[in-house]
Amino acid sequence: MQADAMAHGQNSPRNTGVPLQADWFDHVAVNTPAAERRAATLTTRRTVKKEWQAAWLVNAIRCIDLTTLAGDDTEDRVRRLCAKAARPLADHIMSGLGISRLTTGAVCVYPTMVSAAVKALRGTGIPVASVATGFPAGLMPLDLRLAEIRYAVDQGAEEIDIVITRAHVLDGNWQALYDEVAAMRAACGAAHLKAILATGDLKTLRNVYKTSMVAMQAGADFIKTSTGKEGVNATLPVSLVMARALRDYGARTGFRIGFKPAGGMKSAKDAIAWQILMKEELGNDWLRPDLFRLGASSMLADIERQLEHHITGRYAASSRHALA
C-alpha cells in the first residue's frame, strides 16, 4: 500500500467541449435488462479480501467528496467536516496501515459555506467544491443560477456541482440543455464543473446516456449521477451506462471525463462495488480522485470501522468513530 495519497488535481487535459453533435447519441439504444445483469455480476465475479480490501478502502477515502448539504449547516459544522477531511482515519489506524498522509478528495458545501471551508482547509491541498444553480431542483432563472456559480467561485470554490434542468431531457430539447451547461461551464472559469444529471428523474437509461453525452459535449469536467435528494439516486446500472458514455466520448474526442456517483451509498461494500465498476469499464486511471469521486459522506464511518477491524481484528462501536 502506498504511504501517501495521490496529490489532488487534474492530470488530464481539460475537456474543452465540442459543438452539439446529436448524431453521437440520437440512435443509441440501451438494453436495460442487459445493463442490469452486467451491473449485478460486477461484484460477484471480482472480490478483494484482507490487505487488498484495505487498500481499496483507503483508495475510496481519497476519492470521497466529504459533504454537508443540510438546511441547518453552520460554519462550525463545516470546520468539523474539514478537520475530518484532513484526517479521515484515527492515528492508530493510519499507523497500522503504514500510511503517513491521507485526505478525502474534496469537501462539498453550499455556496455560503465556501469561505469557511476554504479557511479551514488552507494548507491541506484539499479543494472545496460547491453545489450551485439552485441545487437540488435547479428551477431558477438561468441568470440567477450563473450568478450563484460566480459567487461560489469568488468565495474560493475550485469545483462547482451544477444541476441541470430535467425538463430539457424529458422534452428532448438537447440544444437547450447543451446551451445551459455550456453557459454554466463558462461561468465556472478555472473551476471544474461537475454536471449532476439527477438520473432518478430521467425515466430511462437511454435518457441517461443522451444526457451524459450532451453534458460532456457542453464542456463538463465530470458527470455525476444525483443530488442525493431524488427518490432514486446512484445505482450500478445507471453508473454503468454513464461509464459507457464516458468511454464513447473519450474515444471520439480524446478527453477523459470524470465520474461521480452520489446518493444512497453508505457502506464500505458500496465503495468497493463502484471502484470495481470503474476498473472494469474504464481502467485504473478512473480509480484516482482527478477522474473519480464518491459523493457519500456517511460511508466514511463504515470504511473506518472496517479498516480498524483489519488492523485490530475487532469491530469498534460506531460511536467510537468521528461522524463525517
CATH number of the structural domain spanning residue 264: 3.20.20.70
What residue has cell string 501517501? 4
255 lies in some domain: yes
Dihedral (CA of 115, 118, 120, 123) sign: negative
Query: Distance of alpha carbon 171 from its chain centroid, rounded?
Result: 26
Catalytic residue among 84, 194, 210, 224: 224
> Of the listed 201, 221, 260, 270, which one is catalytic?
260
pLDDT value at residue 44 = 81
Please report whether residue 17 resides in a domain.
Answer: no
* Residue 4 bears catalytic tag: no
44 is a domain residue? yes
Spell out the per-residue pLDDT of the chain, length 324, in tens.
433 333 344 567 999 999 999 999 999 999 999 999 999 998 887 778 889 999 999 999 999 999 999 999 999 999 999 999 999 999 999 999 999 999 999 999 999 999 999 999 999 999 999 999 999 999 999 999 999 999 999 999 999 999 999 999 999 999 999 999 999 999 999 999 999 999 999 999 999 999 999 999 999 999 999 999 998 999 999 999 999 999 999 999 999 999 999 998 999 999 999 999 999 999 999 999 999 999 988 899 999 999 999 999 877 666 665 555
User: Under 8 Å CB-to-CB from 196, ≥6 apart: which residues?
Assistant: 135, 161, 162, 163, 164, 224, 225, 226, 227, 262
Q: Is residue 268 part of a domain?
A: yes
Beta strands in 206-271 (DSSP E): 222-224, 258-260
- Whether 194 sits among the annotated catalytic residues: the reply is no
What is the DSSP annotation of 155-189? TT-SEEEEE--HHHHHTT-HHHHHHHHHHHHHHHT
260 as an active site residue: the answer is yes
Is position 242 within any domain?
Answer: yes
In terms of residue numbers, what domain contains 188?
36-320
Beta bridge partners of 64: 294
As for how many domains the chain has, the answer is: 1
Answer yes or no: is 11 within a domain: no
- The pLDDT score that the predictor gives to residue 48 is 82
> What pLDDT shows up at residue 318?
62
Query: Per the domain annotation, does 85 fall within a domain?
Result: yes
Residue count of the chain? 324
Helix (H) / strand (E) containing 198: none
Cα–Cα distance measured from residue 142 to residue 168, given in angstroms and rounded to the nearest whole number: 13
pLDDT of residue 292: 98
Nine cell digits for residue 265: 451509498
20 in a structural domain: no
Catalytic residue among 65, 84, 161, 302: 161
